[in-house]
Each structure stands twice: as C-alpha cells, then as structure tokens.
Amino acid sequence: MRGLQDARRDPRAPDGGLSPLPGCAAPAVAIPCGRFAPSPTGPLHFGSLVAALASFLDARARGGHWRVRIEDLDRPRVIPGMASDHLRTLERFGLHWDDDVLYQSHGAERYAVALRQLERAGWLYPCICSRSDIAQAGLAGAEGYRYPGTCRTRSGSATDSAAWRVRVEAAPIEWPDLVQGPQRHALDALCGDFVLRRADGIITYQLAVVIDDAIQGVDRVVRGADLITSTPRQIHLQRLLGLPTPAYVHVPLALDRQGDKLAKRLGAAAVAAAEPVPLLCRALAFLGQSLPPEAPRLGRDTLLGWAIQHWDVGRIPRGQGWPAPPLPNVADSPEM
C-alpha cells in the first residue's frame, strides 16, 4: 500500500510528484478556475442559483475560468432533457461558461483508470453488505450509519458484482474552509470506508468529483454547505491519487420555511421563468454581497460586472443556511 505521505505530493511540484491521471496534467501556468456541477435530476432552484452565482463570481473576480459539468452518473435518477434546461437557465442569467461542458456519463474510462490505480495500491476492497447489514451493526456516523468494516479482509477482483470501498484512516483530515472556517473531520467516525463503485457498477459522486475537478483544473470549489462532509472524503481520494487539493468555499444553503434544504420541489420553476435581475439581486444579498442602490434597474450583464468587481468571499455569512428570501414572480408558490 502506498503511503499517504507519498500520495500527498503535488503533481504540479517541481519534482513532478506522482504520475497524474490521464487528462489531469496541470498547465505550466495555473489559471484560476471554478466550476458549477448540477445534477440533472430536477430543475435548478434558488439554492442552485446561489451556488452557481457564487462560483461564477469567485472565478471571474480572480480572473479565472468558470467551467460547467453535468453530474449525470446516477442514470436511474436523471430526467431526460434536464441538463439542457440547466444550461439554458445559466445562459438566461448571464452565467456563461468556458470550454465544453463535461458530462460525467461520458467519463467511464477516466473513472476506471482511477479505480485501477487505487486497487493496485491496495486501497480498495469488495463489499457485499446490504444497507440492513450496516444498520444492524449500529455504528452512528455523521450521515446515518457508518460502515463497520465488515468486508475489510475480503479478497476479490474488480469483476465481482460487489460494491467497492476505499479504506479510510483514523487521522482527521483538516482544511481551512474560506467561509466556514477551519475544518477537522475523521473519516472513520464520519462514514467509515466508503463506496467508490456501487454493486450495480455506477461510480459514486465522491470519486467522480475528485477526478473531474482535477481534469477541469479547478483550484477553488465553491458549493453548498450541505456538501461539507463530502470534502474530507474527496481530500482523502485526492491524496491517494496524487491530485492537488483545491481550496474550498462552502456557502450557506437556501432553506425553506421548515428549515429543510430548498431542493428541487421548491421555487424551481420560478428560477427558470423569473426575470434574471431581481433574482440575481436576491442571490447577491443572500451571499452577503453589497449592492448599489440602483441594482434593480441595472441590466443583467452590468449587474454581473459590478458584482464581479465587488466580489468579496469574506462577506459571505458563515453558517449552514437559512430561509431563502421571498422570490419574485412566485407569489403563487404555496411553499414560499
């Protein structure tokens, strides 16, 4: 098994570090890059707009690229045509991206390469436990039951019709979140060894994100605070695969009146149909950014240009989230 210290070497370092995955070679001069990565399992809602806008402004304010990828690996949940809807909505809001959109459903080969690399280094093992097996072990984690390690000593090959888990270590993973402050999470207490490939062959979110952030050259991940417990898993995989760790900015979530994540059932149609400027103003206010008094009367692109110039990560309020503001043109929504 390769040591974590070795895996931590940055492939952009002068000594070359570990050999990067295909497509992950860093450019000679690193250009700042952010990204927005929606799942086409439902329409974009106000919370999605907040995350998209924050990552867009952060990348543009740093003079960088902003890329989009469609996280469509969980095919049974993907809604046909939804990815195109997402892209049209981003364009309506003036959030124009660089380069081609990356579709995870086209990424089987790059994920297979990463899995092979981890398997050869001894980090993976097959797991045949069911959800109820894991529940019966009764070990509490941050997101329900954590994996008790039942199959850690199983041997087998990648052709087994089993889930594939990656080993975690007891040492906590730490990073300085640019909004939420210093973070420290121990993966064995958070989730235990976690699944990278499901028994049905689908690659999980955690692995795909790590590979694609590297391929897209993302140096700062700006996303919703609900994903903060995914970050230590992703940093663990970056270290094992010899990939650079981006900076992380977890922005507060837009919640509904019951305090639940807005989710796609709420305000979604509103975002697709709403006038961009009033909604952009609400999203900027939600992110703690200052607005000029004339903001509601500015054109969309003028407002975005102003927001880029005045973008300040330090003004984003720290916290998991709070209720979304009343949205324009959605007075008929019973849940807002």
Q: Which residues are annotated as a binding site for Zn(2+)?
A: 127, 129, 147, 151
Minimum distance from residue 12 beta carbon to Zn ion (Å)? 36
User: Candidates 17-25, 32-40, 122-130, 223-231 — which segment interacts with Zn ion by CB under 5 A?
Assistant: 122-130
Please report, for residues 111, 136, 278, 327, the alpha-carbon distance to residue 47 in angstroms, rounded to integers and kept in the order given: 29, 35, 15, 12
- Crossing angle for the helix pair 108-120 and 205-215, to the nearest 10 degrees: 110
Nearer to Zn ion among residue 137 and residue 291 (C-beta): 137
- The answer to whether 64 touches 97, Cβ cutoff 8 Å, is no
| 228 touches Zn ion by CB under 5 A | no
Nearer to Zn ion among residue 144 and residue 292 (C-beta): 144
DSSP symbol at 192: S
Minimum distance from residue 29 beta carbon to Zn ion (Å)? 45
User: Candidates 129-137, 192-200, 212-220, 295-303 — which segment interacts with Zn ion by CB under 5 A?
Assistant: 129-137
**Centroid of chain to Cα 16:** 27
- The answer to whether 237 touches 166, Cβ cutoff 8 Å, is yes
Nearer to Zn ion among residue 188 and residue 256 (C-beta): 188
Give 144: exposed, middle or buried? Use CB within 10 Å, 0-12, 13-18, 19+.
Answer: exposed
Minimum distance from residue 305 beta carbon to Zn ion (Å)? 53
Please name the residue ranges forming H helices in the chain.
4-7, 46-61, 82-92, 108-120, 131-137, 187-190, 205-215, 231-241, 268-273, 276-286, 300-309
Site for Zn ion in 143-182 (CB under 5 A): 150-151
Q: Which of 223, 229, 233, 232 is nearest to 254 (CA)?
A: 223
Give 310: exposed, middle or buried? Use CB within 10 Å, 0-12, 13-18, 19+.
Answer: middle
Q: How many residues bind Zn ion (CB under 5 A)?
A: 4
- The answer to whether 22 touches 272, Cβ cutoff 8 Å, is no
Choice from 33, 51, 127, 235 touching Zn ion (CB under 5 A): 127
Choice from 129, 203, 215, 268 touching Zn ion (CB under 5 A): 129
Nearer to Zn ion among residue 150 and residue 302 (C-beta): 150
Minimum distance from residue 137 beta carbon to Zn ion (Å)? 10
Binding residues, as ranges, are 35-39, 71, 127, 129, 147, 151, 205, 223, 264
Nearer to Zn ion among residue 44 and residue 151 (C-beta): 151
CA distance 117 to 286: 42
Nearer to Zn ion among residue 97 and residue 194 (C-beta): 194
Query: Which residue ranges make up the site for Zn ion (CB under 5 A)?
Result: 127, 129, 150-151
